[in-house]
Amino acid sequence: MTTVATALVELLAEAGVQYVFGVPSGPWAPYMEAMRTGPVEFVLVSNEAAAGFMADVCGRLTGRPGACYGTFGPGATNLSTGVGSALLDRSPLLALTTEAPESMLHRTLQMAIDHQALFRPLTKWTTRMSTTNLRQTIRRAVQVATAEVPGPVHLGLPADLGRQALPAEASTVPMLLGQAAAPPTAEQLQAIADLLRQAKRPLLVAGLSCLRATGKEAWHTFVERQQLPVVLSPMAKGMLREDHPAYAGVLFHALSDIVAETIQEADLVLAIGYDPIEFNYEEWLPAAPLVHVDTVPADVDASVHLAAEVVGDIGTVLRFLATLPPLAHRWDLQAVAERRQRMFATLTAPRPTLAPSQVLGAIQELLPEDGFLTCDVGAHTHLIGQLWRTAAPGRLIMSNGWSSMGFGIPAALAAKLCRPQHPVVCVTGDGGLLMMVGEMATAARLGLPIVFVVLADRHIQLITVKQERQGYARYGTLLYPPGYTPASHYFGVPVVTARTEAEVHEAIAQGLQAKGPVVVEALVDPAEYDEIILRPHKPPI
Ligand SMILES: Cc1ncc(C[n+]2csc(CCOP(=O)(O)OP(=O)(O)O)c2C)c(N)n1
């Protein structure tokens, strides 16, 4: 007999789902059994928020929906933190939760809240499953989750559904991954070419949507031929190497005032795949017209002069741009190079005490180019966003749309599960570690060889910097009392404490050779953050 549980697991496998992450409950037992004997693996985590983050990262890396599970009420609310990441960082995801059975739907019930209401603002679609709609609902959910702009779908499973027999369905929606956006018209493409030709200093800006687009080779052809300065959003890192002559820097992150010097010289901004979820246009655009190319319209206020908007398939636009003959622009690439050098020199200036930039330098030296770096959210993210050299799009995994602390550790677990052949390093602040230290048990149990580098400065440092910039005293930001020494292991994951650059280097080198997870706790002095992060993105008006 086909039950709902066995059919659901088969449908997930058909959609390309390899893992379901979560914390089980009684009503989920039939699904666990279907996974134990079936084609999808269940991965127990310590907190459902991690399950959501892991599903998000699997979605990003595979283009197939990631999947996660949480039980009634608190399971679902925990899960919702990770589901929000898939929404604002744009990953296809299926969030499964146990809901009240039909008979108890409007009754008082232990743990139960309205999951449909909970997930409505966090998803592209939320619905409740039944035996009559299961197959077509899952197929439709996969289509919705993977269609541009990708995101999460919530599927509520009534508690008594799993063991029920599933009748055959006559007609079903096909299992299609989301369709690409429609190609733009020839007139729209020509309008971009005309504006580029008329401009003297057109600036190229690549954003998060580029990661999902085809046409990356065409993009490189275009950049090589035109040699126009390129600015990236943090999540688009890897679209151009940081040592490329046209590379001008990353928006929003450390020393963005130096990047702004180039931005301010532009007389046209061609923003490709730019998703304002990372940083609103008005925050950084110069007083110049904007050309917006994305799968959705630009979200701008009245201060922005939108000269052209091309809503559709980004790859088609990139392939068109690659055909343009060289433009006669007036950019001073020497000045761009000088700013780039100044920026990197400032970010790596020698420091008397162990600085986060030195720890990053050691990782950069030791992590091969095919490796993945995941990072958490904090002052260190601002440093990584500008300093880290990213070999290819997607190799630096961060959350800049949702920007949730606690993202980095589960992201690393998911990266290693989805890309077992590639080395994976995670960088997190100590605040982020505290949020997700339970997942060390998951890493240990799965035996995943990941190096977790903790930048231990004993504070939630980004907030101390913000307090000081606003003229307030430090308050409520100290994590540990003075005299803190790291533990020797977290749930069986060995911890190596590093106090100098040489110790950091040695510990990471050893960690990358290890057969299982390792934590390197680098006792850093966060002083450098004060000078390099949260810089102005525009000159004062
Ligand atoms: C879930 C969540 N809570 C709070 C914040 C606000 N926040 C952003 S960064 C930060 C501090 C992070 O501290 P830590 O992990 O130690 O990293 P550091 O800033 O020291 O690099 C906080 C509290 C957030 N982004 N996400």
How does pLDDT run across 142-191, given as a tens digit for each residue?
A: 999 999 999 999 999 999 999 999 988 766 778 888 888 999 999 999 99
Q: Which of 191, 361, 170, 368 is nearest to 291 (CA)?
A: 191
Convert the pLDDT of each residue in 34-87 to its tens digit. Answer: 999 999 999 999 999 999 999 999 999 999 999 999 999 999 999 999 999 999
User: Does residue 462's CB lie within 6 angstroms of at least one atom of ligand 1?
Assistant: yes
Ligand 1 centroid to 343 CA: how many Å?
Answer: 24
- 428 Cα nearest atom in ligand 1: 15
Token reading at 250? 């990353």
**401 C-alpha to ligand 1 centroid (Å):** 14
Taking the centre of ligand 1 as the mean of its atom positions, its distance from the CA of residue 381, in whole angstroms, is 10
Report the C-alpha gap between 17 and 361 in whole angstroms: 36
Q: Residue 234: enclosing H or E segment and its boundaries?
A: none
Separation of CA 253 and ligand 1 centre (Å): 15
Q: 541 pLDDT exceeds 80?
A: no
pLDDT digit string, tens, across residues 430-479: 999 999 999 999 999 999 999 999 999 999 999 999 999 999 999 999 99
Mode of pairing for the β-strands spanning 66-70 and 41-44: unpaired
User: 432 CB under 6 A from ligand 1?
Assistant: yes
The Cα–Cα gap between 472 and 163 comes to 58
Q: What is the pLDDT of residue 171?
A: 61
| CA distance readout (Å), 205 to 229, 341, 489 | 9, 20, 44
State residue 458's pLDDT score. Answer: 95
Q: Which of 429-458 are b and which e, b meaning 16 or more Cβ less than 10 Å from the residue's Cβ?
A: bbbbbbbbbebbbbbbebebbbbbbbbbbb
**Beta strands 450-456; 518-523: pairing state:** parallel
Q: What are phi and psi of 474, to 5 degrees?
A: -65, 135
What is the distance in A from the centroid of ligand 1 to the CA of 159?
36
DSSP state of 64: S
**What's 388-438 look like in SS3?**
CCCCCCCCEECCCCCCCCCCHHHHHHHHHHHCCCCCEEEEEEHHHHHHHCC
Residue 287 pLDDT class (50, 70, 90 cuts)? very high
Contact 429 CB / ligand 1 (< 6 Å): yes
Of the candidates 457, 455, 454, 468, the residue with the CA atom closest to the CA atom of residue 533: 468
- Say how many Å lie between the CA of residue 405 and the centre of ligand 1: 5
CB hemisphere CA count around 141 (13 angstroms): 30
- According to DSSP, residue 165 is labeled B
**Confidence (pTM):** 0.98
Phi, psi of 349 (to 5 degrees): -55, 140
Which residues, at least 6 apart from 68, have a Cβ–Cβ distance to it below 8 Å? 20, 21, 22, 48, 51, 52, 54, 55, 79, 82, 83, 93, 94, 95, 96
Beta carbons of 282 and 303 less than 8 angstroms apart: yes
Q: What is the mean pLDDT of residues 108-119?
A: 96
Closest CA to 430 of 459, 404, 462, 464: 459
Token pair of 93, please?
């995801």
* Ligand 1 atom with minimal separation from the 381 CA: 21
pLDDT recorded at residue 274: 98
Ligand 1 site-directed mutation target among 462, 468, 480, most atoms within 8 Å of CB:
462
Whether residue 460 has its Cβ less than 6 Å from ligand 1: yes
The neighbour count for residue 213, using CB atoms within 10 Å, is 26
| d(C-alpha 193, C-alpha 291), whole Å | 11
Rg (CA), the chain: 24
Which atom of ligand 1 lies closest to the CA of 406?
1
Distance CA 408, CA 449 (A): 15
Q: Which DSSP state fits 177? A: P
Do residues 65 and 95 lie in contact, with contact meaning Cβ atoms separated by under 8 Å? no
Average pLDDT rounded to a whole number, residues 277-293: 98
The pLDDT of residue 170: 64
pLDDT at 1 over 90: no
Handedness of CA 319, 323, 327, 332 (dihedral sign): positive
59 Cβ below 6 A of ligand 1: no
Instruction: Compute φ and ψ for 141, nearest 5 degrees.
Output: -60, -40
In 3D space, the residue among 490, 397, 494 whose CA is nearest the CA of residue 46 turns out to be 490
Environment class of residue 9 by beta-carbon count within 10 Å: exposed (0-12), middle (13-18) or buried (19+)?
Answer: buried
* Cα 430 to ligand 1 centre (Å): 9
Quick one: average pLDDT of 116-123? 98
What are the residues whose beta carbons fall under 8 Å from the beta carbon of 152, sequence distance 6 or more? 83, 86, 87, 91, 92, 93, 94, 95, 119, 122, 123, 124, 145
**Rounded average pLDDT over 128-143:** 95
Determine if ligand 1 sits within 6 Å of the CB of residue 233. Answer: no
Check if 78 has its Cβ closer than 6 Å to any atom of ligand 1: no
pLDDT for position 529: 97
Helix (H) or strand (E) holding 341: helix 333-347
80 lines ligand 1 (CB under 6 A): no
Contact 104, 155 (CB under 8 A): no
Separation of CA 463 and ligand 1 centre (Å):
7
The residue with greater pLDDT, 481 or 476, is: 476
Q: What is the mean pLDDT of the chain?
A: 96
Q: Which residues contact 159 (CB under 8 A, 6 or more apart)?
A: 27, 72, 98, 99, 100, 101
291, 308 Cβ separation under 8 angstroms: yes
* Token output for 163: 């063991």
Determine the atom of ligand 1 nearest the C-alpha atom of 430. Answer: 16
Contact 90, 149 (CB under 8 A): yes
Which of 407, 433, 460 should be mutated for ligand 1, with most atoms under 8 A from CB? Answer: 460
Half-sphere exposure of residue 275, counting CA atoms within 13 Å on the CB side? 24
Q: What is the pLDDT of residues 305-360, one digit of tens each?
A: 999 999 999 999 999 999 999 999 999 999 999 999 999 999 999 999 999 999 99
* C-beta neighbour count of 205 within 10 angstroms: 28
Tokens 């057969």 correspond to what residue?
515
